Amino acid sequence: AQSVTQLGSHVSVSEGALVLLRCNYSSSVPPYLFWYVQYPNQGLQLLLKYTSAATLVKGINGFEAEFKKSETSFHLTKPSAHMSDAAEYFCAVTDGGSGGSNYKLTFGKGTLLTVNP
Amino acid sequence: NAGVTQTPKFQVLKTGQSMTLQCAQDMNHEYMSWYRQDPGMGLRLIHYSVGAGITDQGEVPNGYNVSRSTTEDFPLRLLSAAPSQTSVYFCASSRSLAGAFNEQFFGPGTRLTVL
């Protein structure tokens, strides 16, 4: 069974500072990994995804994440935070199994990012 | 394209009442799913479908029924609502081509309160 652990339910940074949101996964097969963002009172939007093509993945809004198999991690970073980045961020994993199982996303519990002026 | 739409946006029920949350997508996606979101719990999969006529249970299926008669629609039914079903419900869809790494598109959510 696969699982995702997001370290830190709440991260607070100053505008212009580095954003680092941590995600560790557990999977018995090579995983597909995703970061989603949820702005207040909205649905989830895909930021980026890892599908084994490249270990450093670039997403929208200046975010990127690096897949590190040795550390079973997929941390999300952004060099300089903007006020508009304030949202909740979810890491998710799915395996490459056959049939319906390969569509089942397992989400972490989320990290709320606050950006201070 | 409207993407994934959900109705209603808000609903208040009394314990024991039944209702159906509607979900529709106009992207011809084969895969559709329902999640519930609770504070500090992330999103948990309730039911999913890989195509019309095919449904399966997710992580938290108890108290919910689904059916998939068309590619476009995937309604979620609460037969006898309980306070524990107070949550925000999200519907999502994706293409089925080579599966797992296809982006899932989420609807705006339905906020349900059961008194």
A16 Rama sector, left if φ>0, alpha if ψ -120 to 50, beta otherwise: left
- Check residue B100 and give its pLDDT: 52
- Check residue B3 and give its pLDDT: 92
Q: List the single residue in B40, B54, B99 with the smallest CB-CB distance to A9.
A: B40
Best-predicted range by mean pLDDT (A16-20, B41-45, B90-94, B97-101): A16-20
Q: List the single residue in A43, A90, A103 with the smallest CB-CB distance to B50.
A: A103
Strand positions, DSSP E, chain B: 4-7, 10-13, 19-25, 31-38, 42-51, 54-57, 64-66, 76-78, 87-94, 105-106, 110-114
Chain A residues closer than 8 Å to B87 by CB: none
Q: From the CA of A41, how many Å to the nearest CA of chain B?
A: 8
Task: Look at B108 and A108 and tell me if their CB atoms are within 8 Å.
Answer: no
Give the mean pLDDT of B2-23.
Answer: 96
Q: List the single residue in B41, B58, B107 with the smallest CB-CB distance to A43.
A: B107
pLDDT tens for each residue of A68-86: 988 999 999 999 999 999 9
Task: Look at B42 and A110 and tell me if their CB atoms are within 8 Å.
Answer: yes
pLDDT tens for each residue of A2-31: 789 999 999 999 999 999 999 999 876 777
Chain B contact residues (CB < 8 Å to A): 4, 31, 33, 35, 40-45, 48, 50, 54, 56, 58, 90, 92, 94, 96, 99-104, 106-109
Task: Look at B101 and A109 and tell me if their CB atoms are within 8 Å.
Answer: no
- Check residue A105 and give its pLDDT: 84
Task: Look at B100 and A43 and tell me if their CB atoms are within 8 Å.
Answer: no
Q: Is the pLDDT of residue A99 over 60?
A: no
A58 DSSP β-pair partners: A64
- Check residue A97 and give its pLDDT: 57
Give the mean pLDDT of B88-92.
Answer: 96
pLDDT tens for each residue of A33-50: 899 999 988 899 999 988
B89 DSSP β-pair partners: B36, B110
Q: What residue in A sits closest to B34 (Cα-Cα)?
A: A104
Give the mean pLDDT of A87-115.
Answer: 82
Choose the mutation target among A44, A45, A101 for the interface with B, i.e. most B CBs under 10 Å: A44
Residue B15: pLDDT band (50, 70, 90) is very high
In the structure encoding, which two tokens stand for residue B2, read together? 């409207």
- Check residue A31 and give its pLDDT: 79
Distance (Å, whole) CA B43 – CA A66:
23
- Check residue A19 and give its pLDDT: 98
CB A91 within 8 A of CB A23: yes
Q: What residue in B sits closest to A9 (Cα-Cα)?
A: B40
The DSSP secondary structure of A12-54, one letter per residue, reads EEETTS-EEEEEEEE-SS--EEEEEEE-TTS-EEEEEEE-SS-
